Amino acid sequence: MKAVKVPRGWVEKAEVFMLDARRHLEDGIYWLSCFNAHQSVEFYLRSLIVALTGVHPYTHDLVELLDALKAIGLEPPKELLVSCELLTPHYTLARYSGRGVYSYTVERGRLFVENADKIISWVKNVADP
């Protein structure tokens, strides 16, 4: 498949979210690092969907966004499904602590940033950001 040109605005925002995820990880603000990692992946996946279809699903569920790419005909590696499943809950959990007991730690922050990097790398290999 030829590299797809994704909307620059989406990628710029995704990059800022990922920079913030790394910065907050270093600063010890782990919940925000996890949220920003999720947001970065969401924007990267959306940028690819928009580039291919002109529209995107209105969801924050990364698995749904990955499924939308599968429906278009892309074949993301199966390990990305696990990464998306890991990151998806933290769009909400990281912001609303009353939704349940969840402890954000440096280990979890690193895990989420690493998984975000896997997904982002795949999008960059498919797209031309």
Contact 101, 81 (CB under 8 A): no
127 within some domain: no
Please tell me the pTM assigned to this model.
0.91
122 within some domain: no
Vertex 76, ends 47 and 25: CA angle to 5°? 65
What string of pLDDT tens digits covers the 129 residues of the chain? 557 788 899 999 999 999 999 999 999 999 899 999 999 999 999 999 999 998 888 888 999 999 999 999 999 999 999 999 999 988 777 666 665 667 889 999 999 999 999 999 999 998 866
Tokens, residue 9: 């605005």
Owning domain of residue 70: 4-112
Structural domains in the chain (count): 1
Domain CATH code at residue 35: 1.20.120.330
